[in-house]
A = this chain, B = another copy of it.
Amino acid sequence: MIGQRVTRQRTAIGALLDGLGDFRSAQQIHTLLAERGEDIGLATVYRTLGAMATAGEVDSLRTGTGESLFRRCARPSTHHHHLVCRSCGRTVEVQGPNLESLVRSIAAEHGFTDVEHTLEFFGTCQSCASAR
């Protein structure tokens, strides 16, 4: 997993993420764990999710309101983007345009290095739209 030790907390967080298809906030994950009877500190949830995101084991993104969302992705290593429902978090992986060459050319053109990009799509999914 992340560090060197396998703990009850990390195992529980990993297991929860495996059974969860959609993006969830750290707070939601904390609540879901509590509902499963896993009493894990919020700080530990944040720490673990952060470490997993750094290790590339989960994908993370930020909503327009500044909240971080996490999700275990089917294809963690390959580059992809997400279409996320802004009300329920339902997530679809989408194959974005290939931006690698664009990134390289704009970086070179303007003398920038270490250029990263963020591309995410937010919308309202069918069931949330009809629920309204």
Contacts and interface: CB of A to CB of B under 8 A. Distances in A.
How many copies of this protein are present in the complex?
A: 2
Given A62-B64, A99-B97, A102-B97, A123 B129 contact: no
Nearest to A119: B119
Contacts of A6: none
Q: Report, as a range, how many residues of chain A touch the other chain.
A: 20 to 34
A20 interface: no
Given A85-B112, A92-B110, A119 B117 contact: yes
Contacts of A103: 121
Interface of A: 62, 64, 66, 68, 83, 85, 92, 94, 96-97, 99, 102-103, 106-107, 110-126, 129
